[in-house]
C-alpha cells in the first residue's frame, strides 16, 4: 500500500515538473515572439530595433531574458538617432508577470545625426535598473522606475565628463479619463514623475572659476516632482496633439523642485503652460537661500555685468524674509517665464532658447 502511494506521489511530482517546464518554455517562446513582432511593428513608426541574440535563463520560477548588443534607431524628419547599449536584461517572476525588472549596465552610446552636425554622447554606468509594473485599477495604468549609479556622461567636444553618483526617476501613468473632455485640466492620460539626483560633478568652465571654487564642483542634490495635467498621448506625439492639449488647459505642475549646491539652496513651485507660439510660459514661487552670494560670484566671473547684478540684488532685498523653521535668511521671490524671458520680479535673468517642435 505504501509502495503504491509512493509511486503515485512520484508520478504526481514528475507530472508537475513536466507541466511546469512546458509552461516555462511556452512563456519564454511567447516572450520572444511578442518582442520580435513588436520590434518589427515599430518600423512603421520610424523606429528600427535589432539585436545580435536572445538568451533565456531563470528556470524554474523566473524568466530572465538577455538581449545581446541591441541597437535602436529613431528616424524623425531629417534626424536620425542611434542608441547602442552593451546588453539589456529583462527579468520577471512567474508569480508576478506584470512586474518587469530591466537592467542595462555598462556602456551606452547615443548618436544624433543632424543635417549640419552629428551629436553623440557616451554614457558609462555601474548600475542601470528599471522596474515596470502594470496596474489593473482605475487610478494607475502603469508605473516605471529607474535607478542608475556612478554615471559618467561624455558629450562630444567636451573636455570633461559629467559624473552623477545616483539618479532615480519614477514615472506614473494615470489612466483616469475625464467625462467632460472640454473641462479645464481634463485628467485624461496624465503623467506624474519624481526625480532625485545626488552628487553631480560639474565640469570646469573657464568663466566660472570663482563660482565653482566657492560653491564646490559638485551639486549635492536636485529633486522634485512634475505633474502633466491634461490628456496627451506621449506614445504617438505630434504637434497637433500638443496644440489640442494646450487649448484644453493642459499644464505641467512643478512640485517642490529643490536644489542644494554648497551654500545655495532653492525650492520652486509653479505651473508651466504653452503660449500661442508653443513656447513655455509660466509663473513660479522660489524660496532661495544664498543667491546674493552667487550673484556676487557671477559678477566676479564676469558672467553678470555690474548693472544686472545690482538689480538682482535689489530685487532679492525686496522679498527677503527672516528665519523659517531654523533656516537663515532667505528670499521668497516670484519668477515668471513669458515670451521666452525668465524674470525675477521685474528683473530679466535670461532669454530662453526657442523650442522647435518639428
CA dihedral 286, 192, 233, 136 (to 10 degrees): -170
Lookup: cell for 319: 522679498
Residue 34: name the closest of 106, 97, 123 by CA. 97
C-alpha cell belonging to residue 261: 549646491
Residue partners of 165: CB distance under 8 A and separation at least 6: 149, 150, 198, 199, 200
DSSP code, position 175: -
Q: What is the residue-level pLDDT of the chain in tens, covering all 358 positions?
A: 567 777 777 877 788 788 878 888 888 888 888 888 888 887 776 788 888 888 888 887 888 889 888 888 887 666 777 888 888 888 888 777 677 788 887 877 777 666 566 677 778 887 777 777 776 655 667 788 888 888 888 877 677 788 899 999 998 877 555 555 555 555 555 788 999 999 998 877 667 777 777 888 889 999 999 988 887 766 667 788 888 888 888 899 999 999 998 888 889 999 999 999 999 999 998 888 877 777 777 777 777 778 877 877 777 677 666 555 555 566 788 889 999 999 877 778 788 888 887 6
Q: What is the rounded distance in angstroms from the CA atom of residue 98 to the CA atom of residue 20?
A: 19
Model pTM?
0.74
Asked if 318 and 334 count as a contact pair (C-beta separation under 8 A), the reply is: no
Q: What's the pLDDT at 268?
A: 92
How many CB atoms are located within 10 Å of the residue 68 CB? 12
Q: How far apart, in whole angstroms, are the C-alpha atoms of residue 96 and residue 204?
A: 47
Model pLDDT, residue 60: 79
Given this model, what pLDDT does residue 346 score?
A: 76
Residue 168's closest CA among 193, 190, 143?
A: 193
Provide the grid cell at 67. 538581449
Please, are residues 304 and 208 in contact by the beta-carbon 8 Å criterion?
A: no
Amino acid at each position: 500500500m505504501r509502495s503504491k502511494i509512493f509511486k503515485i506521489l512520484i508520478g504526481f511530482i514528475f507530472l508537475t515538473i513536466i507541466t511546469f517546464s512546458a509552461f516555462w518554455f511556452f512563456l519564454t517562446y511567447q516572450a520572444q515572439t511578442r518582442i520580435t513582432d513588436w520590434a518589427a511593428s515599430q518600423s512603421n513608426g520610424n523606429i528600427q530595433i535589432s539585436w545580435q541574440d536572445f538568451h533565456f535563463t531563470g528556470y524554474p520560477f523566473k524568466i530572465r531574458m538577455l538581449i545581446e548588443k541591441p541597437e535602436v534607431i529613431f528616424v524623425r524628419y531629417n534626424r536620425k538617432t542611434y542608441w547602442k547599449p552593451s546588453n539589456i536584461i529583462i527579468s520577471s517572476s512567474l508569480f508576478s508577470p506584470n512586474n518587469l525588472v530591466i537592467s542595462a549596465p555598462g556602456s551606452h552610446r547615443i548618436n544624433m545625426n543632424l543635417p549640419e552636425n552629428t551629436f553623440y554622447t557616451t554614457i558609462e554606468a555601474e548600475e542601470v535598473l528599471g522596474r515596470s509594473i502594470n496596474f489593473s485599477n482605475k487610478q494607475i495604468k502603469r508605473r516605471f522606475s529607474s535607478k542608475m549609479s556612478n554615471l559618467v556622461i561624455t558629450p562630444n567636444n567636451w573636455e570633461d565628463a559629467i559624473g552623477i553618483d545616483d539618479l532615480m526617476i519614477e514615472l506614473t501613468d494615470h489612466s483616469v479619463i475625464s467625462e467632460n473632455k472640454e473641462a479645464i485640466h481634463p485628467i485624461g492620460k496624465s503623467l506624474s514623475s519624481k526625480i532625485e539626483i545626488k552628487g553631480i560633478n560639474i565640469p570646469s568652465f573657464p568663466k566660472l572659476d570663482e563660482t565653482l571654487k566657492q560653491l564646490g564642483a559638485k551639486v549635492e542634490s536636485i529633486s522634485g516632482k512634475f505633474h502633466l495635467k491634461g490628456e496627451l498621448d506621449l506614445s504617438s506625439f505630434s504637434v497637433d496633439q500638443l496644440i489640442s492639449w494646450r487649448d484644453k488647459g493642459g499644464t505641467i505642475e512643478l512640485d517642490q523642485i529643490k536644489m542644494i549646491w554648497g551654500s545655495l539652496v532653492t525650492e520652486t513651485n509653479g505651473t508651466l503652460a504653452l503660449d500661442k507660439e508653443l513656447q513655455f510660459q509660466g509663473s513660479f514661487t522660489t524660496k532661495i537661500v544664498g543667491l546674493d552670494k552667487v550673484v556676487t560670484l557671477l559678477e566676479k566671473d564676469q558672467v553678470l555685468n555690474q548693472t544686472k547684478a545690482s538689480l538682482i540684488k535689489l530685487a532679492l532685498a525686496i522679498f527677503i524674509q527672516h528665519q523659517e523653521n531654523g533656516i537663515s535668511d532667505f528670499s521668497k521671490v516670484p519668477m515668471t517665464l513669458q515670451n521666452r524671458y525668465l524674470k525675477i520680479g521685474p528683473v530679466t535673468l535670461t532669454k530662453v532658447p526657442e523650442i522647435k517642435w518639428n
